[in-house]
Structure 1
């Protein structure tokens, strides 16, 4: 077996392990036109043809290079040749003067997620390689806070990426081996000049030449990662807590202290060896939990935690904080299952011309996103089939999380919903 045949077999095995067969949902492939993504598209399209799946190639035009229109044209041609559908999405608006690579990466994930969800996809495939992982390890060693690439992980875009997983089936393969595969198939690719721009950390890492193959993750979710995911998901945001703050909290938990802390928009309350984590209602005073006007029949995400679809016109979703006493006895009873400190962050609805709030689950359909998001963050899903019937919470009152303090400080996590 040739090297390219062996590479193809390895990638097919990874796709077999993660993806559904004979499913109407398309597979979304991020296609930049570079060698890695062109090889990914070719391999995924081959697999899809034999397994009854459609492929949608998505190209992001960041608007940063004058040649981007030609790149998109070439991407469209690659998609046609592979028998895939193709769509271009653009990053419009002002670009930041500093932190451009991080901003472009965040915009790319959000645009890919929006387009994939609109098309009905559950998985977005990315062309990262072992070289990308090695370069990322070097960048982190120099102090740049970027996450480590994983073969299967939730989309980092939130709430755009809700319900979406990322699959990187080339993560164990070398960049040059993929180019050998393209040469063998007579295919071309784009070399982005930004990859040689030494102003950027990844370009400087790449300029050092091929690095030793990095070790793969052991597949074990650390206690720090569990606690960070819990706080981020409960708070509804996108930025995990800083490492130093998280470490300080874990030390206090390990010491058995009773204390309160607010991180990532979530409140952590430790009492008697148990910890409760829920959304911090006081975020309303700091710009969080903002009111959101609803449109009939259009699902929107409020506070990063709830997907709300109004059944009648003239509704605005707001936090319950400051309005709890005005709720009906039935609505107050429904919220009584939550800790008192968590109730103020729950969604209620205000009708035009009527100041009396009503619990959001009555004139609208409310779906909690927290539990499924946390499950994905903690690797509770391992393949696309797990996404077809994701674990969802009922309408409010929804989950808060109760953790054993020692488990939160260490490597175990238990969860309670009420």
Structure 2
């Protein structure tokens, strides 16, 4: 046990001090931070912090539309833009105000004489309309359009009902086949939106860290073997102690990276400007399903142990680092398949594909995170999935141990399956 702890400590400390690990982790932390603050940077450079955009309009061009638009904005109160009216019909005045920076853009109504409502152009110094201004303008002009076309034949309530968007609420049938009640429909409406982001992040983290740590395990074993250092190491530490020591040491590295990324995400989400973004998107951190985080950690550890044993076994069979990429390609394809199954099933967490994947050990760490976070997963399925995964780890761990013990001393070309089986029979695990 002392030798195993020594290998674990050496692997962990040796890897976290390498430049490649530090640079990779730092780059990923920066990318995560930049990605989470992109809306703030866009708003910062577009001058969004100065308040709602100021939109100009020539009052005499379409008096009825301008009056309706102004009345709509007064009813709404605080909106995505403010309206500035200008007298006369000379567009040059609006252009001068735009160049002076007094307005962010102005509306131009183009009446072709055929349609009941004119087409609208937004003129500014930019190639496109800011998203907040665009959505606010569309909502306001949609209401004004309905009011102008109906010409006062509808009441305010009818007009509001006409312009209100239609939302489709999915309601699941209960066990008897009848529609759920209003309260049941509310509970069956689905998980909170924040959980989609959590599950998406967990799937990406699982794939990324498994690939990083797995490749590091295989590369380190191959490098020790190709440089003949392995012959010296096995005189003091058994091959099995080396293998499991490397696997556990890399597991600690993977967990360290998860905690680092979780801390970076938490810090960025707690920033005041990101809090306002979360509020505008109806994302509440209190709605996060803690069960998903606990299961995600459990499945990460188990999934890592399964893949890591295979990476170590494959790495022990390769004598040159140039051949490593081709050798680990099957494991890479398995992890990619698990990643794509999880990502493309976010919108259908109760699909048959995902249900079957729950009982396939190479896919279950990802598919079960999706189902537990977004779908309707019975407890027995989670328990069965964990049992199958644990049994698979024991089997592949035993198989990898036999391969590793044999392969670390096989040099030259990669052994065939027949040669490998023959060599493995000489050792008992």
Q: Normalised by the shorter chain, which TM-score bucket?
A: under 0.3
* Larger fraction in helix: 2
- TM-score, normalisation: structure 1: 0.22
Larger radius of gyration: 2
**Higher share in strand:** 1
Q: TM-score, normalised by structure 2?
A: 0.22
